[in-house]
Structure 1
């Protein structure tokens, strides 16, 4: 028995010393009272444009991640979703950290690619947290479930990153748990020493009864007392030590594993960031209108919207070379954002807003970002009357096959039908497919009036007016099942000149393209129409708004 106690005590003492050493080292060297395990200052160097963590490196959530970086020049540190970071870096050269072991062991992988500077990262709106500037830059981020990357790069997006970085993970209660492990180790050591060196007192035998010689009675043989049913001190010590260790290193102290690693979609924009996009657009648009700066215009618009703006600016320069009558600028109020979920770039969102210059109409626009490093550009914009029923922005999404199958008319067909309706006029058989709307009625009335006025001229023989779809429509599905469709139409208004006569443009917007030039065969006006319409699950298609701009003119 004594040998067993000594052996058990030796084992407990050795285990206790190990646990004490580990707990003490963790509490007073690795962690500290701030509950944070950090790497110490490490040098992260890349010939490329950034140093970033692989998407699966941050595979647990709950703790708070602390990051501090400093470099010879301005430095940027940020944390963003992998869908954005991967698009931003794209095919650039950078260094990726693929493995990290506490306290300071990194394994990296060099990603080859282009070294052309990227857009300055601090100006991008999709970072979850970010810090940028001279000197030390620090951030703290409670890690959430999902695919996130940590990025360190030069603040101007240039190559050759050389930063001194400290990375830390703060886990609530970690220091206390380490102290409990330390205390548990001391307890095990004490129990082990107790078993080894404290000798157990023997229980004395009961006294032998005295028997009188003259009264002899039979004496029962002596039976030793039974062993106690209570656990021995060794078992008790092991049990207590086990409870202490389980409490100190229980599963509650281990951050849970991420379960959203495969979720790769995100809203195109937040409400706050969407509002900031519109505010920036209004500010830049005002400058463009004052200066007719085409390059500046390209930083806020694209597609049909840019084509219309360029045409309007060209006409303005021709008809108002002194710039005495610049275009008016709007600011946006009561902004609402419809932001579908996307798994990759390009991304789009829709905005509705009231206009500061016209209380009878609102703005309805589509914004697109080609990649995570590009600005948001306005690609479609119309101004529906406030009386028009615009689909709700909440829950707006991109269509799938099931959504398209529920529509009575596909968006491409709607565009073709509308073009035919406008070309043929109110008597077109396509008219029955569309509900009456103010903008649609106005366009039809204006073209009928133009045709009548031109035919009345002696030198004009015939007039044709042809609308055609231009490009593919952009489609969104609202929460009520309606399809919100943005499309473009081109129009050529063509006048045939009577033989032996000539005609020329003398005034109006079209004269900016061809003024006082004599044409003996035709006169031509070219238009670009931006259209927004709604295709309901049942019923007629509604035209919300049409925005028209002269984009060319001339003749032959």
Structure 2
């Protein structure tokens, strides 16, 4: 058995398996990209969020919701569908710089959505104490994007660099937010990512298959038995010379 052929077989098998995994990932990304055509979003299931405070806000982080890009296309757009479950009440949804939201909700009893899981659904909250009553959110002029009203409201926002926060409140700033929320996202990045994964994975798979075939041929030649009285390199009827 030729050691070189064995090594080639192992490397070829590993490359083929890696390429198959990358191609599978590319196919999944391509499918996700197909779901966001014609302005559609990849969306989570609608879930109910209920808090007793004045406002429900997105998790706070040093990075915020935004990212720094500099790319010649949109990194992504997020969508949030909100429907008030509090009878005929109107709901407000807005996105604004984190610093503006911090000033607005300073000393206001509000809730930060810390984490969400969907299988099974579970929302984890942090309640922040306060003694002040907020002014109606629609009266504020610093919102970057906002929607309000009865029935389903949809906020869409192109991701930008910096620290940002999403706020959900009753439009009249009353306490007790009971709302159905459905988040979504779309990104122009999915197309180049899918193409890169499919092409790169396809090349790895092709190289792996070629190495496996070459190794199999080499091992087959090494395993060919010699006839009686034949030494290596001797043909039939040839003596040792």
Above 0.5 in TM-score? Answer: yes
Higher relative contact order (CA 8 A, sep 6+): 2
Residues in 2 aligned to 1:29 and 1:5: alpha-carbon distance in whole angstroms = 36
Q: Are the aligned partners of 1:76 and 1:153 in contact in 2 as well (CA < 8 Å)?
A: yes
Displacement of 1:107: 5.2
Name the structure 1 match of 2:158: 142
1:67 lines up with 2:84 in the alignment = no
- CA shift, 1:133, in A, is 0.6
Unpaired segments ≥5 residues, structure 2: 69-74, 222-241
Given the superposition, is the C-alpha separation of residues 30 and 173 from structure 1 closer, same or farther in structure 2, using an over 3 Å criterion?
closer
**1:545 equivalent in structure 2:** none
Q: 1:178 aligned to 2:194? A: yes
Q: Tell me: CA distance 1:37–1:31, structure 2 relative to 1, closer, same or farther (3 Å).
A: farther
TM-score normalized with structure 1 length: 0.32
Structure 1 residues 100, 197: CA separation in 2 closer, same or farther (over 3 Å shift)? farther
Deviation string, structure 1 residues 497-526 (Cα, Å, up to 9, x no partner) = xxxxxxxxxxxxxxxxxxxxxxxxxxxxxx
Matched, 1:193 2:209: yes
Give the match's secondary structure for 2:126. Answer: strand
Q: 1:121 aligns with which of 128, 134, 137?
A: 137
- The answer on whether the counterparts of 1:31 and 1:175 sit within 8 Å (CA) in structure 2 is no
1:27 aligned to 2:34? no
Rounded to whole Å, the distance in 1 between the matches of 2:179 and 2:195 is: 34
Structure 2 SS opposite 1:8: helix
**Cα deviation per residue 1:332-374 (whole Å; 9 max; x = unaligned)?**
xxxxxxxxxxxxxxxxxxxxxxxxxxxxxxxxxxxxxxxxxxx
CA distance in 2, matches of 1:102, 1:185: 31
Return 5+ residue gaps in structure 1 as ranges.
Answer: 203-556
Work out the CA distance in 1 between the residues paired with 2:42 and 2:82. 16
Aligned counterpart for 2:54 among listed residues 49, 58, 83: 49
Q: In the TM superposition, what is the alpha-carbon distance from 1:17 to its structure 2 partner?
A: 2.2
What's the CA shift for 1:138?
Answer: 1.3
Structure 2 CA distance, aligned partners of 1:92 and 1:78?
A: 17
1:384-412, Cα deviation, whole Å (9 max, x unpaired): xxxxxxxxxxxxxxxxxxxxxxxxxxxxx
Select the residue among 3, 10, 16 that pairs with 2:19: 16
Distance 1:165 1:12, change over 3 A: same
- The whole-number CA distance in structure 1 between the counterparts of 2:125 and 2:100 is 21
Matching residue within 59, 65, 69 for 1:58: 65
Q: Which residue of 2 aligns with 1:133?
A: 149
Distance 2:180 2:146 in 1: 17
Distance 1:96 1:167, change over 3 A: same
Superposed displacement of residue 31, structure 1: 7.6
Cα distance, 1:68–1:189 mapped onto 2, change above 3 Å: same
Deviation sequence 1:7-54 (CA, Å, 0-9, x none)? 111101121222223222333248834495544434333221111122
Distance 1:82 1:173, change over 3 A: closer
Q: CA deviation at 1:91?
A: 1.7
Q: Could you list the per-position Cα deviations for residues 125-183 of structure 1 after superposition, in whole angstroms to 9, with x for gaps in the alignment?
A: 12111000112211222233333211111122112212222223333232331243134
**Aligned residues of 1:79 and 1:128 also touching (Cα < 8 A):** yes
For the residues of structure 1 that align with 2:123 and 2:195, how far apart are their CA atoms? Answer: 28
Judge conservation of contact 1:51–1:96 (CA < 8 Å) in 2.
Answer: yes
Query: Is the CA contact 2:54–2:177 (under 8 Å) kept in the aligned structure 1?
Result: yes
Q: How far is 1:59 from its partner?
A: 4.6
| Partners of 2:18 and 2:153 in 1: CA distance | 43
1:111 aligns with 2:128: yes
